[in-house]
Amino acid sequence: MKKNLFDTVETYLSNGLQLITIKKETQLASLNIGVKVGAVCEEKKERGISHFIEHMLFKGTINRTNEELNAALESLGGEYNAYTDYTSTVFNTTTLNEELENSLEYLADLLQHPTFNEEHIEKERGVILAELRSSKDDVEDLSFQKINDMAFTNSPLKVDVIGKEAIVRTINKKMITNYYNKFYVPNNTVITIVSDFEHEKIIEIVERWFGAWEQKTVEKAVLEFEQNKEKFKITHRDNMEQSTVLYLYTFKDLTKKEELALRVLNHKFGESSNSILFRELREDKGLAYDIYTSMDLTTNLKSLYIYAAVAPEDVDDAIKTIDSCIERIKEEIIVFDNNTINIMKKVFKTAIASTLEDSTDLGNYILHQAMDKEELYQFTEDMERLNTIEAKDLYNVARKVLNRPTVHVLLCHKE
What percent of the chain has a predicted confidence (pLDDT) above 90? 78
Asked if residue 3 has pLDDT above 70, the reply is no
Taking CA atoms, 29 is separated from 33, 69, 107, in Å, by: 13, 20, 14
For the chain, which residues make up each domain, given as ranges? 7-210, 231-412
What is the rounded (10 degree) CA torsion for 90, 96, 99, 105?
Answer: 10
pLDDT of residue 148: 95
The domains spanning 7-210 and 231-412 adopt the same CATH topology: yes
C-alpha distances in Å from residue 401, one per residue of 277, 370, 395:
17, 27, 10
For range 238-252, the mean pLDDT: 91
* pLDDT at 244 > cutoff 60: yes
For 7-210, the fitting CATH number among 3.30.830.10, 3.30.420.40, 3.40.50.720, 2.40.160.50 is 3.30.830.10
Rounded to 5 degrees, what are φ and ψ at 273? Answer: -75, 0
Rounded mean pLDDT, 63-70: 96
Q: Work out the average pLDDT over 356-368.
A: 91
pLDDT value of position 302: 93
Length of the chain equals 415
Mean per-residue pLDDT, 44-56: 96
Q: Has residue 45 got a pLDDT over 60?
A: yes
How sure is the predictor about 415, in pLDDT bands with cuts at 50, 70 and 90?
Answer: very low
DSSP H helices, 268-314, are 276-277
What band does 338 get if pLDDT is binned at 50, 70 and 90? Answer: confident
What is the Cα–Cα distance from 132 to 294, expressed in whole angstroms? 22
Mean pLDDT for 265-276 is 92
CATH number among 3.30.830.10, 3.40.50.2300, 3.40.50.1820, 1.10.150.20, domain 231-412: 3.30.830.10
pLDDT of residue 413: 64
pTM listed for this prediction: 0.92
Q: Is the dihedral of CA 342, 251, 34, 145 positive or negative?
A: positive
Provide the pLDDT confidence category of residue 222 given band limits of 50, 70 and 90: confident
Tell me whether residue 132 is exposed, middle or buried, using C-beta atoms within 10 angstroms of its C-beta: 0 to 12, 13 to 18, 19 or more. Answer: middle
pLDDT score, position 217: 94
Strand ranges, E, within 327-403:
none
Using DSSP's 3-state secondary structure scheme, residue 307 falls into strand
Q: What is the mean pLDDT of residues 66-89?
A: 96
In this prediction, residue 2 carries a pLDDT of 42
CA-nearest of 66, 47, 50, 221 to 149 is: 47
- What number is the average pLDDT over the span 36-43? 94
Contacts of 65 (CB under 8 A, 6+ apart): none
- Mean of the per-residue pLDDT values of the chain: 93
Mean pLDDT across 24-40: 95
Structural contact between residues 289 and 383, judged by C-beta atoms closer than 8 angstroms: no
Band (80; pLDDT cuts 50, 70, 90): very high
Each residue's pLDDT tens digit, 150-206: 999 988 888 899 999 999 999 999 999 999 999 999 999 999 999 999 999 999 999
Can you list the alpha helix ranges (DSSP code H) found in 157-255?
Answer: 165-168, 173-183, 199-210
DSSP for 294-333 reads EEE--TT--EEEEEEEE-GGGHHHHHHHHHHHHHHHHTT-
The answer to whether the beta carbons of residues 31 and 93 sit under 8 Å apart is: yes
Sign of the torsion formed by the C-alpha atoms of 259, 261, 266 and 272: positive
**Residues forming beta bridges with residue 29, ordered by sequence position:** 95
33-37, 159-163, 382-386: range with highest mean pLDDT: 33-37
The percent of the chain in helix, strand and coil, each rounded to the nearest 5, is: 50, 20, 30
Backbone angles phi, psi at 387, to 5 degrees: -65, -15
pLDDT of residue 5: 65
